[in-house]
Amino acid sequence: MNVNGGTRPAAFLGNLGSLLALLLAAAAPCCLPIFAAFAGVIGLTALGLNEQLVFYAVQGFALVALVGLVLSVSRHRQFGPLILGAIAGLALFFSFHARFSALLVYLGLGGLCVASVWNYLLSRKRRGDEADVTLKSVITCPACGYRAEETGCGARLKPKSGDCCIFCSYGSIRCPPVQSDAACCI
């Protein structure tokens, strides 16, 4: 049973955003010359993409990566990748909107990629930790010795107000002492 519902899609969203931002930045080698050789090898320069469109798309995919990092933080509670991703995103947006600097674009894209990989590794570690969790346990009644295998969900049950025990609150029938009009089982 996977207890970790949404961490994997959130990590994937962050990784996808970072990867697409990096690929699209490589599609504009005139402004980012380090990417020119890479873009030529994989054929991105042949697309002839509009430079303005590429810069907006890079920013959009950087936002997708940040959204993925935010969603992942809500699952694994580690803020490091989000902080690094936010700083990298700010570097990108500053470079595109305030004062263009190829170095800031490289650092921003690199920071997003590092944050995404870090986030992915944290997500995998959390899944690995939760893979060892066993949700089934044999419960033994201390009074009569009856045993039954039950599946736990992690909730801690307390009797509802006015009930003597969790069997009276949540069971299909009341506890044996209450059934026989005796004192509470506790």
pLDDT tens digits along 127-177 = 555 555 666 777 776 667 778 787 767 677 888 888 888 878 887 777 777
Domain end (from 93, 109, 131): 131
CA 174/CA 167 separation, integer angstroms: 6
| Element containing residue 96 per DSSP (H, E) | helix 80-97
CA 93/CA 100 separation, integer angstroms: 9
Looking at the whole model, is its pTM more than 0.85? no
Regarding whether 75 and 54 lie in a shared domain, the answer is yes
Confidence of residue 84 (pLDDT cuts 50, 70, 90): very high
CA 75/CA 122 separation, integer angstroms: 10
CA 41/CA 49 separation, integer angstroms: 16
Indicate whether 185 belongs to any domain: no
Indicate whether 1 belongs to any domain: no
Regarding whether 123 and 141 lie in a shared domain, the answer is no
CA 43/CA 121 separation, integer angstroms: 30
Count of domains in the chain? 2
Regarding whether 141 and 126 lie in a shared domain, the answer is no
Regarding whether 145 and 118 lie in a shared domain, the answer is no
Indicate whether 89 belongs to any domain: yes
CB 150 within 8 A of CB 24: no
Q: Residue 162 is part of which domain span?
A: 136-179
Domain end (from 131, 147, 170): 131
